[in-house]
Structure 1
Amino acid sequence: MALFTFLLCFSIFLLGLIFYLKRLSKEYYLLACCRQLKTVDGSKISDKVYIVPGRTIFGNNFDILNSNPEDIYHWSRDLYKRAKGKPYALYFYQACIYTITSPEAVQEVFQSQSLTTKGVVYELVRPFLGEGLLVSSEQHWHDRRKLLTPAFHFNILQSFIEVFKNETLKLVNLLSAKKDQNVNLNEIISEFTLNSVCETALGVSLNDISGSSEYRKIIHELELVMVKRLCNPFMYYPLVFKLFGDYKGFYKNVKVAHNFSSKIITKKREEFQKRQFAKETVHENDDETGKRKRYAMLDTLFHAESQGVIDHRGICDEVNTFMFEGYDTTATCLIFTLFNLAVHSDIQEKCYREVKNYDLPAMSISDFNQLEYLERVVKETLRLQPSVPFISRCCREDTELNGVILSAGSQINIHILDIMRDEQHFPDPLKYDPDRFLPENSLNRHPYAFLPFSAGSRNCIGQRFAMLEIKAMLVGILQNFRVLPVTTPEDIRYENGLVLRTKENVLVKMVKRAN
C-alpha cells in the first residue's frame, strides 16, 4: 500500500513537473519571440501577429523534426489556417521567423531596399550553388545581376526561340513513338528542359556531354538532404551535419553536379577561345558557315572573365545556379500545366483551338506573345502550383514592417503559395480558372497577389526565358496530341522543398490527333 501511494504521488509530481516545464517553456519562447518583435504603436504583438505555440517543451525548434517534404507542405498549410490571415511567427534556431502569407503584408518587403539579403535557409544550398545569383547578397549580388541581365535581353531571346522549337519537335517525335502508352511527365519533361537550358543559356548541346540523366537524379537527392537539415536545428551546424548527417552522400552528389557543369564550361570555353575576340560582338557573331551564332550567358561570363570582372569560381557558381533554377523550376511548371490540361479537357480544347493553325517551326516571339489564352493557362498553373513555393529574407538591422519592428537577425519567410491562394484576391482559390487573368478580372487585383517569379529587385532574371520555353513546348504537344489523365487530382500529394513537387510521378496519356 505504501509503495502504491508513493508511485501515485511520484506520478502526479512527474506529470505536474512536465506540465509546468511545458508551460514555462511556452511562455519563455513566447517572450523570446516577442523580444524580437515589437509593435510600432505599442499594442500587443499578438494583435498583429499569430505566435505559433511549440509542439514540445523546446518551443518550435523540434516542431518538424524528422518530417519529410510532404509533412512540411501540410504543416505550412495548417499554420496558414491557424493564423487566419495574419502573419505568423515561430521562434526557431534562436531567431524569430516572421512569415507572410498575404499580398498586403508582402508589399513592404519587395519595395524595401534593405531587405534583399537571403534568409539562413539558403546557407544550406551554398555548398552546391556557392555565391551564385540565387544565394549572394548585397554588392556582390548587385554586380552579378548587372552583369547577367543583358544575357536575357529580348534580342538574345530571339535566338533562343529556335532551340526551344527544335527541342519541342524532338519531344513530339519521341512521344509519337510511344503510341498511346502512359507518359511519365517527371522524366520526359525534365530531360527536355535541361537540354533547352544548356543549349540556349549555356550554348552547349548535351549530345556532346555525358551525365545528364545522373545530374537530374542527384538534384532531387540534394534537395532531400537540405530539407532534412532544415527540419533539425542541430543540423544547421556544419560540424554536427558532418558527424551525424548524410554529409558524405551530400557532398558526393555536389561533386557529381559540379563535375557535370564543369564539362559544359570546359566545352564552351574551348569554343570561346577559338574565336577572334577582336572581331566578335553580340551583333556580329557568325560561324564558319555564315549563320549567326547564338550568344549565350556563358559568352557574357567569359568576356567578363577576360576583363577581370569575374573569376573561374564565379563562372562555376553562376552556371550551377542557372542550370538548377532554369531547368528544374521550368520542368515543374510544365508538368503541372500538362496535368491540369489533362484533367480539364474543356480548357485543353480552348488552348488547342488557339494554337492549331500556327506553324511551329516558323513561329516568332511575336506569335508566341499573341497566345493570350495559353498564357492565362500557364499563369493559372503558376498561381495554384508555383514552382517555388516560398522564399526567405534576413533582417540585417532592426526593420519596421507592417506596423511591427523586427530585430536584426530575424528571418522573413514569404509563402508565395499561400499568397496566390488568398481568397480575397482569388475567389474560390482552389478552382483552376485561367479566366482569372483576363484583363477585366485582373484590373483591381493587388499588384503583389500574383508573384510566381518573386518581385522587386530580386525577381527572377529568367522569367521571360521560362515563359517562352513553356509556350513553345505546349504548342508542340497540343498541336499533335490530346492529353488524357492517368494520374488524378486525388492522387496528387504535394512536397514542399526548394521546389514544389509531387510525391509520385505524374502520368498522362498522349493520344495522337488526326491531321
Structure 2
Amino acid sequence: MKSVRKVLERGCQFITKHSYSESAVLQDVRVTSRLPAVSEPYVKPTTRKERSMGDIPGPSSLPLIGALWQYLPGGRFYGVDFNESVKSLQKMYGDVVREDIVPGFTVIRLFNPDHFLDIRQAEGELPARAMFGMLRRYNELYNQNVQGLLTSQGIEWQQMRREVQQKISSPQAVRSFVKSQMSVAEEFLDRMDGLRDRDGTVNDFLPEIYRYVTEAIGVVCFDGRLGVLNANDRDGQNFIKAVNTSLSLIYKELFTPPLYKLVTTPMFKQYCENMDTIRGLSEKHINNALKHPMTDGRMNLIQQLSYQSKLTYRQIFTFLSELFFGGVDTTGHCLVFSLHALSRYPEVQEKLYNEIKDYSSSDICNGALDSSSYLRAFLKESLRMFPIAPGLGRTTSKDTTTAGYHIPSGTNIVLHYDMAGKDERFVPNPTEFIPERWIRPIPTYISPYVTVPFGFGPRSCPARRTALQEVSLILIKILQKYKIEATTEDLPIKMQLLNCPSKPVSYTFIERET
C-alpha cells in the first residue's frame, strides 16, 4: 500500500508541477508548429533537462493488470476499435504516450514523424522487435526452436536477413517474378468475368482478393501454381482461413497476459492448430519446388536458398512459410484499399488508366512498371490514406532521447505513422487524395517517415517490392478492361492486428469500350 500511495503522490506532484493554462498552451502552439495543435493542453517542458521515461504522460497503471484495465470489461476502451482507442490516447496525452500494459511490459506510443526519426537513428545494425510471442513459442515447441525473420533477434536475425535479402528484395529478383505473377493476374481477370452479376457488380470481393494474393505470392515462394483460383480448391481455402484466424489471435495476444509461456492456453492451442495448417501446406509446396528442373538455367527461389546460401533446410522452410503466410492479409488489404480509392476518386482512376492503358504484357516484362510514376504515387497515397497496419513496432537496442525524454535500451515503441499520415501538421490537406504530392519534384516537403507501411531500416519488409508489383499487375489488368465504381461511399475499417474492412466490400466493374 505504501508503494501504491507513493506512486499516486508522485503522479499528483507531476500534474501540479507541469500544469499549463489554456492561454499559455495556445501561445506555445503559435510559436512552433511541432507542438500538437489539439484541444487538450500541451505540457511544455519547464526545463531543458532531459526527463525520464517515467515522466511520459499516459493512463494510470493498476496493480497486477497495469493499464490493461482500459481494454477489459468495464474499461473505457472495452469493445472499442483499437484505432479509435489510440486516437483517444493521443488526444488525452499528446504526441508521446506511455502505457504500462501489464507490470514489466511498457509501450511508448509516438505520433510525430520527427520522433520516428529519433528511433530510426537509434536502431543500429541489429534492430529488435517484441512481437509475435505466440509464434516464437510455437517455433520453440514445434519447429526445433528455429526462428524466422519475424521472431529472431540479434546476430541470428542478421545472418538470415543477409542470406535472403538479394534473393527476394533486389530489383533484379523482383523482376524475375513478373512473368509468373502476371499469369496469375490474367487468370484472376478471367475469373472475374464469371463473378460479375448482370450490372457488373462483384459482391463480397475480399475473399476473391485473398485467392489472388495467395496464388500470386505462392508462385514466388514455390515456383509453381497452387490452384487457389480453382473454385474447388480446399487446401488454399483452409490456408487462407488459417492465416485470417492466426492474425486475429495474435491481435488478441496483445491484450492478454502471456500465460501460454507457462501452459497451453485455449488461445495458444487454437493458434498452434492454425499454424500447423499453414506450415503443413508450405512444406508440401517447398518439397515439390525442390524437384523442379531449372528454367533457362535459372534456379527458383527455394533452389537459390538451398544451394547458394548458408541456411539450413529448417531455416529456409521457416522463412518461406512466413513469407507465404505474411503475404495474404497484408497484400490483400493493400489491394482492396487501392480498389476502394480508385472507385471513390474517378479523376485519379482516369489519370492512372491513361498512364497504363497501352501497356502490353511484353512492356510490363521489360520494365514498364519502373517508369510508372503515377502508379507508384497512387499506391503511396493509397497506403497513406488507408494504411495496412496501425503502426510500426520497435524495441530500442540502445539508450536514446526523443521529445526530451530519455528512452532506455529494451523499450517497446510503437510508431503510429497511420495517424501521422492523416495529421494536418505533417501532411497538407490530409483528407484529400492527391497522388501528385509524391511525384518529383514534390510540391511541399513531407517527412519521409510520415508513411512507412513497410517499415524502415534493416528490419523493413523484405518483400515490399514483390508485394507492390503483385498489386500493380492486377490493378493494370483490371483498369485496362474495366472502369471501377463503388457500391458504397464509405469503407468502414477495423483493426485485427492489421486494418481490414469491417463489412463485405463490393465493386462494380463496367467493361470499357474497345
The separation in 2 between residues aligned to 1:29 and 1:302, in whole angstroms, is: 57
Instruction: Give the corresponding residue for 1:162.
Output: 179
Corresponding residue for residue 512 of structure 2: 513
Give yes or no for contact 1:69–1:227 (8 Å, CA) kept in 2: no
The one-letter code of the counterpart of 1:136 is S
Q: What is the correspondence of 1:147-158 to structure 2 with a 5 Å cutoff?
A: 147-152=163-168, 153-158=170-175
Aligned to 2:120: 110
Q: 1:359 to 1:252 in 2, by over 3 A?
A: same
Write the distance in 2 (CA, Å) between the matches of 1:55 and 1:427: 40
Residues 178, 59 of structure 1: CA spacing in aligned structure 2 closer, same or farther, 3 A cutoff? closer
Structure 1, unaligned stretches of length 5 or more?
1-16, 33-37, 276-284, 287-291
Partner of 1:42: 49
Label 1:27 to 1:452 Cα distance change in 2 as closer, same or farther (>3 A): farther
**CA RMSD for the aligned pairs?**
3.3
* 1:228-247 equivalences in 2 (<5 Å): 228-232=252-256, 234-239=257-262, 242-243=264-265, 245-247=266-268
Equivalent runs, 1:88-487 vs 2, <5 Å = 88-93=97-102, 94-114=104-124, 116-127=126-137, 131-152=147-168, 153-179=170-196, 180-207=200-227, 211-232=235-256, 234-239=257-262, 242-243=264-265, 245-271=266-292, 285-286=294-295, 292=296, 295-304=299-308, 309-441=310-442, 444-487=445-488
Deviation at residue 170 of structure 1 after TM alignment: 0.8
Describe the superposition over 1:296-322 as per-residue Cα deviations: whole angstroms up to 9, x where unpaired: 3312221156xxx22222122101211
Q: Deviations over 1:344-372 (max 9, x none)?
A: 12211222222222223542353112222
Q: Distance in 2 between matches of 1:326 and 1:349?
A: 29
CA apart distance, 1:434: 1.5
Distance 1:237 1:397 in 2: 29
Deviation at 1:259, TM superposition (A): 0.6
Structure-2 change in CA distance of 1:486 and 1:26 (3 Å): farther
Asked if the contact 2:391/2:415 (under 8 Å) is kept, the reply is: yes
Residue 461 of structure 2: SS of its match in structure 1? coil
Contact kept, 8 Å, 1:29 with 1:59, in 2: the verdict is no
Deviation readout 1:169-206 (Å, 9 max, x if unpaired)? 11111112234132433111111111111112331320
Residue 43 of structure 1: how far off its partner (Å): 5.4
Question: Greater CA deviation, 94-103 or 124-133?
Answer: 124-133
Asked whether the 8 Å contact 1:64–1:72 carries over to 2, the reply is no
Whether the 8 Å CA contact 1:326–1:466 is kept in 2: the answer is yes
Distance 1:52 1:82, change over 3 A: same
Match of 1:280 in 2: none
C-alpha change, 1:26 and 1:438, in structure 2 (3 Å) is farther
SS at structure 2 position matched to 1:511: strand
How big is each residue's C-alpha offset from its partner over 1:117-174, in whole Å with a ceiling of 9 and x where there is no partner? 4333332332467621122221111111111112133332222111122111111111
Whole-Å separation in 2 of the counterparts to 1:128 and 1:505: 32
What is residue 496 of structure 1 aligned with on the other side?
A: 495
Q: Which has the larger radius of gyration?
A: 1
Task: Identify the range of structure 1 (355-364 vs 191-200) with the bigger mean alpha-carbon deviation.
Answer: 355-364
- 1: CA distance between counterparts of 2:328 and 2:353? 25
Whichever residue aligns with residue 90 of structure 1, its letter is E
Does the 8 Å contact 2:342/2:349 carry over to 1?
yes
Per the TM alignment, residue 325 of structure 1 is displaced from its structure 2 partner at its CA by 2.3
Of 354-363 and 122-131, the range deviating more from structure 2 = 122-131
2: CA distance, partners of 1:191 / 1:238: 34
Distance 1:315 1:405, change over 3 A: same
Unaligned runs of 5+ in 2: 15-44, 140-145
- Secondary structure of 2:455's match? coil
| 1:81–1:296 Cα change, 3 Å | farther
Query: 1:346–1:396: structure 2 CA closer, same or farther, 3 Å change rule?
Result: closer
Note the C-alpha offset of 1:47. 11
Residue 25 of structure 1: how far off its partner (Å)? 6.7
Given the superposition, is the C-alpha separation of residues 23 and 474 from structure 1 closer, same or farther in structure 2, using an over 3 Å criterion?
farther
Question: How many angstroms does 1:426 deviate by?
Answer: 1.0
Flag the structure with higher helix content: 1
Asked whether the 8 Å contact 2:417–2:450 carries over to 1, the reply is: no
Q: Shift of residue 54 of structure 1? A: 5.1
Percent identity reads: 20
Cα–Cα, structure 1 residues 342 and 70, in superposed 2: closer, same or farther, change >3 Å? Answer: farther
CA separation of 1:394/1:28 partners in 2, compared to 1, >3 Å: closer, same or farther? farther
Length, aligned pairs only? 466
Q: Which amino acid aligns with 1:174?
A: R
Q: CA deviation at 1:293?
A: 6.0
